Homo-oligomer: A and B are copies of this chain.
Amino acid sequence: MKSAKMSQPVTEQKKWVYSFGREVCEGDSSKKNLLGGKGANLAEMSNIGLPVPPGFVMSTEVCTYFYQNGSAYPGDIEAQVAAGLKQLEKETGMVFGDAAHPLLLSVRSGARVSMPGMMDTILNIGLNDDTVKGLAASGDERFAYDCYRRLIQMYSDVVLGVDHDDFEDILDTHKRRNHLRQDTEITAAGLKEIVELFKAVVQKETGKPFPQSASEQLWGAVGAVFKSWMTPRAVTYRRINSIPEEWGTAVCVQAVVFGNMGDDCGTGVAFTRNPSTGSGEFYGEYLINAQGEDVVAGIRTPQPLDDMKTAMPEVYQQLNDIRLQLEKHYKDMQDIEFTIQNKKLYMLQTRSGKRTAAAALKIAVDMVDEGLITKEQAIKRIQPEALDQLLHPTIDAKAAKTVLTKGLPASPGAATGKVVFDADVAEARAKDGDKVILCRTETSPEDIHGMHAAQGILTSRGGMTSHAAVVARGMGKPCVSGAGDVVIDNKARSMTIKGHVLKENDIVTIDGSTGEVLLGEVKMLQPALTGDFETLMKWADATRRLKIRTNAETVLDAETARKFGAEGIGLCRTEHMFFDPTRILHVRQMILAETSEDRKAALAHIEPHQRQDFINLFKIMKGLPVTIRLLDPPLHEFLPHEDAEINGLAKSLSVTVDKVHQRITRLHETNPMLGLRGSRLGIVYPEIYEMQVRAIFEAALAVKKETGETVTPEIMVPLIATKAEMDILKAMIDKVAESTGFTGYLTGTMIELPRAALAAGSIAESAEFFSFGTNDLTQTTFGISRDDAGSFLPAYQSAGILPNDPFASIDVDGVGELVKTAAERGRKTRAGLKLGICGEHGGDPASIRFFEAIGLDYVSCSPYRVPIARLAAAQAALKE
């Protein structure tokens, strides 16, 4: 009580301290906000009759009071703690600070959620020069002094701020002088010496002796817990994870039990089911004659829990019963900690256990079968993001690895291959049977064939929604983007990563789920989909309201997406079809044309290919809706950059190289993202869209004729800012439809500019559907280019300026307001307006929750995100 100011006593009696134990138990698991996760679960276990060492919890309200009152405690807390202690002494038959029967306490922090930066545990509070003798009398002397020196070491470090190394030096010196290798070999006499040396350090460093008062020790530890709530690390963590400061932390004070009093003692951790596979066996490990921290420290290798069956059969039986009781009670797989003191079992913690995606899936489905949980609960249990693990190869968590650097986890999964720096080389090598990783500063649509051929893609620039990231996700290939430490020298055919030089054909491994770039080959686990996956997906489909479509323009993507359950195509980016080697020459011819006639002539060569593209997609989608976006990127994206290619182009077009250069220069844009693209192309060069629209309608007619299936194409005009643009292009589309005799299509637009979102009411007069292009909408709303964001977005996230990458998860307050506004205004004009979203956010669970809440009709995402979106949509529907 000495270290903190006392405030005036309050008149109204408020409960600050909650006891738990066999006789008195004032909490339960519903009181997590008040008692913290740890305290609430200890109380809950006491309530259901499990053997928990008794204790009490100082509630989170004490923490809040503490910070609202200049680090002062409530006036009546001392009395309440004293009462809690008295109950503890009654139940244990020991007395806190008593020389003969000393009660020892542990003090731990316990917030609602576990949080890095918070104080962990101080054990053995209550030991001093007198009580240590009482402890020695009840056990053995070596044990007692080992406990005492641990207390001094831990307490001085955490509460008194004495440098940990001072104590380690003393221990090391002692061992060296006595030729000992391990702490465990130090004798009782040695430990007594060490305790004296430790105390001298405390006296020297703090100017005061190590506190001999048990009460002073207790309040010192409690204060340390509360202070740890405001450590910079905890504050940052809270800011990033949007945890309010007012939540506060609780403090758990508990009688210490000892797993290190002999060979009939021990301590261990276990999971109630296998956390890797989800199968039903009891899974854990323990150490004979050890304290909890020894298991964590890894000095000795723990034994598998199975060994306990023979070593301590009764204890094992009791533990297994508790395991089954906990699962039945909590209806979830538990992660437990226990200690055995002289063959008596004590439960020290239970909490929901972390698990792999496969395990989560199996456990959820099994628990439904076992009648423990409902299907809805099963759906809620699975983190949608975790499904990625099931769809892609992953790095074996146990494998040794050398991390060269870390970029952005742009497309999940892991891949190993030979380094190549050029798309053509990648393709050639892959044809020879090599596995390659394509390493580029950034990729462009010209690299598509190389990306297809590669196992994975590594870029030194670009964010989560850069070209490389988007295309790789579409292909389901691993990608690490924006790895700023990677410096590629294309001429030398090598790259340098923090001093490591990698030449062409050197082996690297990339982990697109973490962003890590690893040296050489690393062991991987291959994905395998089980029946549990199908079962859960079926439940999700029955629950969700949102439709799930896919972003696809290739046959492979479309088929993959169908396999994963996509209910149509939400975004077919026709520009990806322009890069095919059989067309790119004509595309370039079209771009270089000076007249509408020349453009039309070039487009005539492309049209049959486009028509066939659409025929293929329509057939795969068998009558499901297909949204086709007309040409979107600026034309200069299609022009070659290398001299050789430019020369070749000039030759094939029979124009001078100068002329090609001139045209490229004229097409250059300072900010291509905000340039001549999208519907602007359609208005300036109408013949391009006319060709595309004709190809769509003729493809639909051809498929109808061949298969009898009615196709309802949804033609999407990109980058609309005003109703007038939409009017002009809709009239053009209707005119082409008339000329082909096709009917039964929808014309709509992407809402991807703030202006369009605001003008949605008038645009909806012409547009029959909206698809929110939240990638571009995020770029323009924030004024952030996703290609260039790498220079500051990571710093913004770690400083907590942005809770998430707004390109990965929608910025609800800003971009979200525009989406909501547009949806409302659009539907006010046209009641049945179809609303979807086709940006990267379509596959992000948090964003899907938002889209469900504002009532969109569907989300569209890359093929490999479709299962994630199905599950997330179901969860979102359940939240409603």
Interface residues in chain A, defined as those with a beta carbon under 8 Å from any beta carbon in chain B: 669-676, 680, 683-684, 719, 721-722, 724-725, 728, 752-755, 758-759, 776, 779-785, 787-789, 791-792, 795-796, 799-802, 811, 813-815, 817-818
Please give the distance in Å from A336's CB to the nearest CB on chain B: 40
Q: Which of B725, B789, B799 contacts A801 (CB 8 A)?
A: B725
Q: Which of B673, B725, B728, B802 contacts A671 (CB 8 A)?
A: B673
Q: Are B674 and A783 in contact (CB under 8 A)?
A: yes
Q: Which of B752, B755, B800, B814 contacts A815 (CB 8 A)?
A: B755
Q: Are A814 and B674 in contact (CB under 8 A)?
A: no
Interface centre among A684, A725, A776, A801 (most CB of B within 10 A): A801
Q: Which of B780, B795, B800 contacts A780 (CB 8 A)?
A: B780
Closest residue of chain B to A674, judged by CB?
Answer: B785
Q: Which residues of B contact A813 (CB under 8 A)?
A: 758-759
Please give the distance in Å from A839's CB to the nearest CB on chain B: 14
Given A671-B788, A680-B792, A683-B796, A754 and B724 touching (CB < 8 A)? no
Q: Which residues of B contact A800 (CB under 8 A)?
A: 724
Please give the distance in Å from A663's CB to the nearest CB on chain B: 12
- 17 A-B Cβ contacts within 8 A? A672-B788, A673-B674, A674-B674, A683-B792, A683-B795, A722-B802, A724-B800, A724-B801, A728-B799, A754-B781, A754-B783, A754-B814, A754-B818, A755-B815, A758-B817, A759-B814, A776-B783
Q: Which residues of B contact A814 (CB under 8 A)?
A: 721-722, 754-755, 758-759
Interface centre among A675, A753, A755 (most CB of B within 10 A): A755
Add 20 more A-B contacts to A671-B671, A724-B801, A780-B781 (CB < 8 A): A669-B788, A671-B673, A672-B788, A674-B779, A674-B785, A675-B788, A676-B791, A683-B792, A683-B796, A684-B791, A684-B792, A721-B784, A724-B802, A728-B801, A752-B783, A754-B818, A755-B811, A755-B814, A755-B815, A759-B814
Q: Which residues of B contact A785 (CB under 8 A)?
A: 669-671, 673-675
Q: Which residues of B contact A671 (CB under 8 A)?
A: 671-674, 785, 787-788
Please give the distance in Å from A644's CB to the nearest CB on chain B: 21
Q: Which of B676, B755, B795, B817 contacts A684 (CB 8 A)?
A: B795
Q: Which residues of B contact A792 (CB under 8 A)?
A: 676, 680, 683-684
Q: Which of B684, B724, B782, B795 contacts A753 (CB 8 A)?
A: B782
Closest residue of chain B to A667, judged by CB?
Answer: B791
Closest residue of chain B to A778, judged by CB?
Answer: B755
Q: Are A674 and B788 in contact (CB under 8 A)?
A: yes
Q: Which residues of B contact A680 (CB under 8 A)?
A: 792, 796
How many angstroms from the CA of A814 to the CA of B723 in the assembled complex? 12
Q: Which residues of B contact A802 (CB under 8 A)?
A: 722, 724
Please give the distance in Å from A51's CB to the nearest CB on chain B: 48
How many angstroms from the CA of A858 to the CA of B146 in the assembled complex? 75
Q: Are A818 and B670 in contact (CB under 8 A)?
A: no
Q: Are A674 and B795 in contact (CB under 8 A)?
A: no
How many angstroms from the CA of A752 to the CA of B818 in the assembled complex? 16
Q: Which residues of B contact A789 (CB under 8 A)?
A: 675
Closest residue of chain B to A796, judged by CB?
Answer: B683
Interface centre among A722, A779, A783, A818 (most CB of B within 10 A): A783
How many angstroms from the CA of A796 to the CA of B680 in the assembled complex? 9
Please give the distance in Å from A830's CB to the nearest CB on chain B: 19
Q: Which residues of B contact A811 (CB under 8 A)?
A: 755
Q: Which residues of B contact A782 (CB under 8 A)?
A: 721, 753, 755
How many angstroms from the CA of A724 to the CA of B814 in the assembled complex? 14
Closest residue of chain B to A811, judged by CB?
Answer: B755
Q: Which residues of B contact A721 (CB under 8 A)?
A: 782-784, 814
Q: Which residues of B contact A776 (CB under 8 A)?
A: 783
Q: Which residues of B contact A787 (CB under 8 A)?
A: 669-671
Q: Which residues of B contact A754 (CB under 8 A)?
A: 754, 780-781, 783, 814, 818
Closest residue of chain B to A757, judged by CB?
Answer: B754
How many angstroms from the CA of A676 to the CA of B817 in the assembled complex? 25
Interface centre among A674, A684, A789, A814 (most CB of B within 10 A): A674
How many angstroms from the CA of A799 to the CA of B680 in the assembled complex? 12
Q: Which residues of B contact A795 (CB under 8 A)?
A: 683-684
How many angstroms from the CA of A817 to the CA of B680 in the assembled complex? 23
How many angstroms from the CA of A724 to the CA of B802 in the assembled complex? 8
Closest residue of chain B to A816, judged by CB?
Answer: B758
How many angstroms from the CA of A758 to the CA of B779 in the assembled complex? 15
How many angstroms from the CA of A673 to the CA of B670 in the assembled complex? 8
Closest residue of chain B to A676, judged by CB?
Answer: B791
Q: Which residues of B contact A728 (CB under 8 A)?
A: 799, 801
How many angstroms from the CA of A671 to the CA of B673 in the assembled complex? 7
How many angstroms from the CA of A477 to the CA of B783 in the assembled complex? 31
How many angstroms from the CA of A776 to the CA of B783 in the assembled complex? 9
Closest residue of chain B to A671, judged by CB?
Answer: B785
Q: Which of B674, B725, B818 contacts A758 (CB 8 A)?
A: B818
Q: Are B722 and A788 in contact (CB under 8 A)?
A: no
Q: Are A755 and B781 in contact (CB under 8 A)?
A: yes
Q: Which residues of B contact A801 (CB under 8 A)?
A: 683, 722, 724-725, 728
Q: Are B674 and A784 in contact (CB under 8 A)?
A: yes
Q: Are B719 and A783 in contact (CB under 8 A)?
A: yes
How many angstroms from the CA of A783 to the CA of B754 in the assembled complex? 8
Q: Which residues of B contact A788 (CB under 8 A)?
A: 669-672, 674-676
Please give the distance in Å from A811's CB to the nearest CB on chain B: 7
How many angstroms from the CA of A759 to the CA of B779 in the assembled complex? 16
Closest residue of chain B to A783, judged by CB?
Answer: B753
Closest residue of chain B to A719, judged by CB?
Answer: B783
Please give the distance in Å from A497's CB to the nearest CB on chain B: 15
How many angstroms from the CA of A8 to the CA of B70 in the assembled complex? 89
How many angstroms from the CA of A781 to the CA of B719 in the assembled complex? 12
Q: Which residues of B contact A675 (CB under 8 A)?
A: 785, 788-789, 791
Q: Which residues of B contact A684 (CB under 8 A)?
A: 791-792, 795
Q: Which residues of B contact A676 (CB under 8 A)?
A: 788, 791-792
Closest residue of chain B to A670, judged by CB?
Answer: B787
Please give the distance in Å from A761's CB to the nearest CB on chain B: 10
Please give the distance in Å from A814's CB to the nearest CB on chain B: 4
How many angstroms from the CA of A721 to the CA of B669 in the assembled complex? 25
How many angstroms from the CA of A719 to the CA of B784 in the assembled complex? 10
How many angstroms from the CA of A690 to the CA of B676 in the assembled complex? 39
Q: Are B799 and A781 in contact (CB under 8 A)?
A: no
How many angstroms from the CA of A331 to the CA of B753 in the assembled complex? 48
Please give the distance in Å from A829's CB to the nearest CB on chain B: 15
Please give the distance in Å from A572's CB to the nearest CB on chain B: 22
Please give the distance in Å from A639's CB to the nearest CB on chain B: 15
How many angstroms from the CA of A754 to the CA of B777 in the assembled complex? 10
Q: Which residues of B contact A796 (CB under 8 A)?
A: 680, 683
Among all A-B residue pairs, the 7 with the closest Cβ atoms: A674-B785, A671-B785, A675-B788, A670-B787, A754-B754, A755-B814, A724-B801
How many angstroms from the CA of A675 to the CA of B791 in the assembled complex? 8
How many angstroms from the CA of A672 to the CA of B779 in the assembled complex? 12
Q: Which residues of B contact A672 (CB under 8 A)?
A: 670-671, 788
Closest residue of chain B to A720, judged by CB?
Answer: B783
Q: Which residues of B contact A719 (CB under 8 A)?
A: 783
How many angstroms from the CA of A814 to the CA of B815 in the assembled complex? 15
Closest residue of chain B to A484, judged by CB?
Answer: B666
Please give the distance in Å from A566's CB to the nearest CB on chain B: 29
Given A671-B785, A672-B670, A683 and B759 touching (CB < 8 A)? no
